Amino acid sequence: MQRAVSEEDANALVRLLLRHTTLAQDAIARMCDLSQTMVSRVLSGQRELRRPATVRRVVEGITQGFRIPAPEMVSVPPGLGLGLNESPDRTASLLEQLARADAQDVPGMEEGPTASAMSAAVLSWLVRDASTQESAAVDEGPVAAVRAATAAFGALDNRFGGENARTTAVHYLNDTVVPLLRQSHSEAVRRSLFTVAAEFVLSIAWMSYDAQRNGAARRYFVQALDLATHAEDRLLGASVLSAMSHQANYLGAHAEARDLARAALTGAGTRATATMRSQFLMMEARAHAARQDRSDCFRAMAEAERAFGSREPATDPEWIRYFDHSEYSDEVAHCHRDLGHAHVARRLAEQSLAASIGDEYARSRVFTRLVLAAAVLGQGEVEEASHIGEQAVPLVQATSSARCAGYLDDFAKQVLPHRDQPGAARFLRQAHAVVAAGQ
């Protein structure tokens, strides 16, 4: 300890403090004015504290006996953020509480609430009066600023993964978005502000889901639904339910995923554009495929195909325009992979990759590439499938996406029975190293 102090070795001090005291990681984080995530990474050897200002703050915090500020919340209440709020003021207060608990890594934030914990919020949204008065959208001042922030964070998420900028986005929510929601605005500005706030919170939910912080993701999804409700934006609310369906299916809650997708379709009603209907239907199809409900899956895919064929992208809101030919083909490929239709899944995955260009959706291409690898393996082409898997490994490493690592791990488990083949053995070594590094 004396050597570490004399050499101002902040990394060694943090590790020694955990080893030789009863202080928990969150207490050390508060003592050193670091995030608990950063402390955890220092302790695991994933990160090193190098910036002079940070090193000085850590050394002073540990050696000069700084008071450890008490956290505002001992643990996250199980129901925090899982219901719709009766007023915009309550929404702002809840978001502030949620963001602070998240930023401080309060215990319980990552505990995944059950489907029943959110069902009341979904039902409340479904039966809410869907009639709205049309008003011109405002896209200037604070509304434009939050919209630009949403686009910037979304671009980082899609290209580099959810963990990359999630913490910064949570701070922006608490420091900028919440105060704006509390201010007085004209009705047109208020509705537009709540709409862009819903889009921003939805982006945090997606980042949290991608980082496999699933408890936090579900809370943010519900609060995005609440913001959309106060904005009287029924279609955006339906899109939130579709996103919740996507997460539920990934987590293995396939019946819940099916019901959420159907709720999105029902709630959007006739106002949904063809693109929205196609995307919502594909979420339902994904859930049916995972449940091996072939007839319902084919019905949903057929309806989705008809809707996609009649879409008019110019009439779509900005937030659904990502659902293009590449995304559509990818979703259908996922369904056929889960149903065991390797030949069809391969063709559609190849079509999706061919239609995807640029770096904007780099993470999505990782998913599609691993679906392609699984389809090729399903055709019995072990060496080719392993080669495709090898090509995906550096792409997974280039993201901070826990979901990408999960896809890679799932494919590696499929390849494992073929580990006696050279290509498979080489891929497995690479994949296991990447997956282990992310744990």
What is the reported pLDDT for 5? 61
Give the pLDDT confidence of 313-336 residue by residue, as tens digits: 999 999 999 999 999 999 999 999
Give the helix/strand (H/E) hosting 292.
none
Confidence of residue 69 (pLDDT cuts 50, 70, 90): very low
Cα–Cα dist 421/61, whole Å: 54
Task: Give the global pTM.
Answer: 0.82
Give the pLDDT confidence of 347-359 residue by residue, as tens digits: 999 999 999 987 7
Residue by residue, DSSP assigns 196-221 as HHHHHHHHHHHHHHHTT-HHHHHHHH
What is the reported pLDDT for 116? 65
Give the pLDDT confidence of 84-119 residue by residue, as tens digits: 998 999 999 999 999 999 998 888 887 766 666 778
**Taking a C-beta distance cutoff of 8 angstroms, is the pair 248, 256 a contact?**
yes
Who contacts 281 (Cβ-Cβ below 8 Å, separation ≥6)? Answer: 261, 265, 300, 301, 303, 304, 307
- In the predicted model, what is the mean pLDDT of the chain? 90
What is the reported pLDDT for 111? 76
Give the pLDDT confidence of 3-60 residue by residue, as tens digits: 666 677 888 878 877 776 667 777 777 777 787 777 777 877 777 887 777 777 777 7
Cα–Cα dist 393/416, whole Å: 16
Supply angle C-alpha 251, 255, 257, rounded to 5.
55
Cα–Cα dist 192/180, whole Å: 12
Percent of the chain with pLDDT over 90: 69
Which two structure tokens, joined as six digits, stand for 63?
């050696």
What is the reported pLDDT for 70? 44
**Taking a C-beta distance cutoff of 8 angstroms, is the pair 220, 110 a contact?**
no
Give the pLDDT confidence of 114-169 residue by residue, as tens digits: 666 778 899 999 998 766 555 567 777 899 999 999 999 999 999 999 998 999 99
Confidence of residue 68 (pLDDT cuts 50, 70, 90): very low
Domains of the chain by start residue, with CATH: 2-63 (1.10.260), 83-128+135-232 (no CATH), 339-437 (1.25.40.10)
Cα–Cα dist 40/5, whole Å: 20
Which of 98, 120, 363, 100 is CA-nearest to residue 215? 98
What is the reported pLDDT for 105? 86
CA atoms within 13 Å, Cβ hemisphere of 364:
27
Residue with tokens 């904007």, as numbered in its chain: 360
Supply angle C-alpha 207, 228, 282, rounded to 5.
60
Give the pLDDT confidence of 390-402 residue by residue, as tens digits: 999 999 999 889 9
